[in-house]
Amino acid sequence: MMKQQAPGILAAVVIGGWLALGGAAQAGAATKPGARHYDVAAFVWPSYHPDDRAKIFWPMGIGEWETVMKNAPKFEGHEQPRYPVWGYVNEADRYVMEMQIAAAADHGVNVFIYDWYWYDGLPFLEACLNDGFLKASNNSRMKFYLMWANHDVNLGWDKRNADDAFQHKNKALIWHGGQSRAEFEKIARRWIEKYFSQPTYYQIDGKPVLMIYDLNTFIGGLGGLEAAKDALAWFRAEVQKAGFKGLELQLSMRKDSPRSLSAVAGDNIGTQQAVVEKLGFDSLTHYQFCHFTNVNRDYNEIMKDVVKDWTTISTNYTARYYPHVSVGWDSSPRTFGVKGAIVKNNTPANFEKALRQVKSFVDAHPNQAPLITLNSWNEWTETSYLEPCTKYGYGYLEVVKKVFVDENR
């Protein structure tokens, strides 16, 4: 184990023997003819940069790095704190993002899925994508797409108040995630004009992919299931008007259940499966293991249930299922005292086993895009990240490279 040490703000870092900030490592040897291509997509939590609106949660002005800096173990044997090898870098800086793109692409991560937010009529935390990724000189090495993180926001991001928020002692709500039809149309036009038009935007069969995080909140904001269906029909038409073949509408699922959803008070609108069919989602994935299984146990035990769910969902739903793997889970860095569920034994070696299982699943479904979603690139305060850390170094990235690059040449 590496000695854990809190890093400072880095001006440059060394990756694989080369100076990474502002540079660009070249990809390794070309893959052999007939080798399978995989779209390995990692979620990006775009909070690690200055943002004036975010100061209500992180007053130092450096985003959620402030929370990472204040992390400490909650009990004996707690594998915290975890610190980034690259330091507390500004991920809205194009030169920092050039380093991150190079590291991701060199290790087989070739798609970033950006958490995207809209509150009180304005976008939130866009700078990581707008000023970082889109201005990076080497962004052609990767694709990106958006997950609309349309959830409500309470005080859980604010470490000063997070313990009470996590324990529901303080139910203060900062922002509502639900949006009206008029607001949804503003949002959708922004997606089409600002992002779908980018040459690096990820598409499936010529259709830009847009993921929705919270199904209930989406429907509730629009006023019900029929209103949501009508809004999505309008959205699809607008995407086609912009010159695309259509829209690949994707959902971040929750645990499958026979229980009916309730998006509007008193409005039981059917099961998750029924609503997915009704709204015509094209594909499904997950955002985190904690959304559909018990994560307070050994990683290998978790994976047994996860693999079963991949098969069940892909069999029972009409929409295509793109399999998901999480690196881990431990959201206690966001609090002072609350610890919650914690994934155990999520070492790079066990993560490698999970990657081999997800690769096998993709190989067994050759008639759909070879897309795999990973949580995540940089969720430091949920302890589910690929970026190199002071505990495992480049361990997580190295096994991604081993499975999807080195063994696929």
Tell me, what CATH number does 235's domain have? 3.20.20.80
Q: What is the DSSP string of 269-328?
A: EE-HHHHHHHHT--EEE-S-GGGTS--SSBHHHHHHHHHHHHHHHHHH-SSEE--EEE--
Q: Kindly report each contact of residues 363-366 with a partner whose C-beta sits within 8 Å and lies 24 or more positions away, as own/partner.
A: 363/36, 365/314
pLDDT above 60: residue 4 = no
Mean pLDDT value of segment 349-374: 98
Specify the pTM: 0.92
**Where does residue 246 fall: left (phi above 0), alpha (psi -120 to 50 degrees), or beta otherwise?**
left
pLDDT (0 to 100) of residue 138: 98
Q: 33: pLDDT confidence band, cut at 50, 70 and 90?
A: low
Q: Is 80 exceeded by the pLDDT of residue 15?
A: no
Residue 24: predicted pLDDT:
33
pLDDT score, position 34: 63
Band of the pLDDT at 267, cuts 50, 70, 90? confident
> Residue 311: its pLDDT value, please?
96
> pLDDT-based confidence at 29, cuts 50/70/90?
very low
Helix (H) / strand (E) containing 355: helix 348-363
Residue 21 lies in a domain: no
Across all residues in the chain, what is the average pLDDT?
Answer: 92
Residue 27 inside a domain? The answer is no
Tell me whether residue 319 is in a domain: yes
Residue 26 placed within a domain: no
Does residue 11 lie in a domain region?
A: no
| CA distances in angstroms from 81 to 57, 68, 164, 226, listed in the order given | 20, 8, 21, 47
Predicted local confidence at residue 391, as pLDDT: 96
> What digits encode the pLDDT tens for the residues 150-168?
999 999 999 999 999 999 9
Could you tell me if 343 and 392 are in contact, meaning their C-beta atoms sit under 8 angstroms apart?
A: no
Region 95-100: mean pLDDT is 98
What pLDDT was estimated at residue 408? 79
At residue 265, the pLDDT reads 60
- If one counts the domains in the chain, the total is 1
Q: Measured on CA atoms in the order 88, 94, 100, 11, is the torsion positive or negative? A: negative
**Residue 115 within a domain:** yes
Number of Cβ within 10 Å of residue 140's Cβ equals 11
In sequence order, the 6+-apart residues with CB closer than 8 A to the CB of 360 are: none
CB 124 within 8 A of CB 53: yes
pLDDT digits (tens, 9 = 90+) for 51-89: 999 999 999 999 999 999 999 999 999 999 999 999 999
CA 373 to chain centre: 8
Residue 29 lies in a domain: no
Distance CA 282, CA 409 (A): 31
pLDDT band of 329, cuts 50, 70, 90: very high
pLDDT at 182: 98
Would you say residue 28 lies in a domain? Answer: no
Tell me the average pLDDT across 308-313: 97
Q: Which range of residues forms the domain containing residue 41?
A: 34-408
| Alpha carbons 246 and 236: distance in angstroms, whole number | 6
